[in-house]
Amino acid sequence: MNVLIVGNSERPDAAVLRSDAIEIVDSVGSAGELGLVVSVGGDGTMLRAVALLDGAPVPVLGVNVGLLGYLAEVEPSNLETALTRFFAHNVDIEQRLVLDVVAHTSSGTRHWRSLNEASLEKQHAGQTVRLRLHIDGAPFTTYQADGILVATPTGSTAYSMSARGPVISPGHQAILITPLAPHMLFDRSLVLRPDEAVEVEVVGQRPVGLTVDGQEAVVLNPGDRVSCSSSDRPALFVRLESRRFHQTLKAKFGLSDR
């Protein structure tokens, strides 16, 4: 089986990946030839692994050597056990909603996939930007704000949570809209159905930066638009045990019983 390691493949913890049954490859190459991606790092490495696959139906096994490791499944000491179970087909494959993000600009269109969020934000401190939100082709409202996040349930515990957005179980299929420091009375997040397409249009005179899963994507000018919709190609994660989301949330964020 071909296995791609994303992250630091020279760590001693990755030595268990070197066996006669596994061939380590250095790129995604033909997705049909990949059987597994092992992400060695933190949540950012998991996001990079999903982005590299670009929708290919290959499961990702996360090995946490980062700080929070919210998306990762195993600690380095359990990697060998996890691989043994994977090859014995004794694991679950969890699907996570991914957004197809398309920027429509005067120079053309560009496409990305987002596991966490697409963020449209102001370029300069001390200013706000004007962003018109459309839902299913109908205008909803225009936000005067620092920006807007369009997030997945997975991303609800990332940037959106820092912006006071709701926490959504990643098993849900939904699209989350969270305004960033809005200068208006309506400052609530919206939780939409996964089939409700979202479009954000830049209005006013100030440019807006688009960031996808923490990576700067493009600068948008007035009149440019970004559309976000649920992808028909979800991210696939290897899970050793059934996850109780609220307990994972409690453990990762150090919540007490009282």
Domains of the chain: 2-96+234-252 (3.40.50.10330), 99-230 (2.60.200.30)
**Tens-digit pLDDT profile for residues 62-96:** 998 876 667 888 888 888 899 999 989 999 999 99
φ and ψ of 82, to 5 deg? -65, -40
Confidence category of residue 26, pLDDT binned at 50, 70, 90: low
Confidence category of residue 12, pLDDT binned at 50, 70, 90: very low
Long-range contacts for 182-188 (Cβ within 8 Å, ≥24 apart)?
Answer: 182/143, 182/144, 182/145, 182/146, 183/128, 183/144, 183/145, 184/143, 184/144, 184/145, 186/141
Position 141, amino acid:
T
Whether residue 120 contacts residue 145, with contact meaning beta carbons closer than 8 Å, is answered with no
pLDDT at 17: 59
pLDDT at 242: 72
Q: In the predicted model, is pLDDT for residue 139 greater than 90?
A: yes
Greater confidence (236 vs 185) lies with 236
pLDDT at 138: 96
- Select which of 13, 26, 43, 136 is catalytic: 43
Whether residue 72 contacts residue 42, with contact meaning beta carbons closer than 8 Å, is answered with yes
pLDDT at 69: 67
Q: In the predicted model, is pLDDT for residue 162 greater than 50?
A: yes
Q: What percent of the chain has pLDDT over 70?
A: 88
Identify whether 43 is a catalytic site residue.
Answer: yes
Query: Rounded mean pLDDT of 20-37?
Result: 69
Report the chain's mean pLDDT, rounded to a whole number: 88
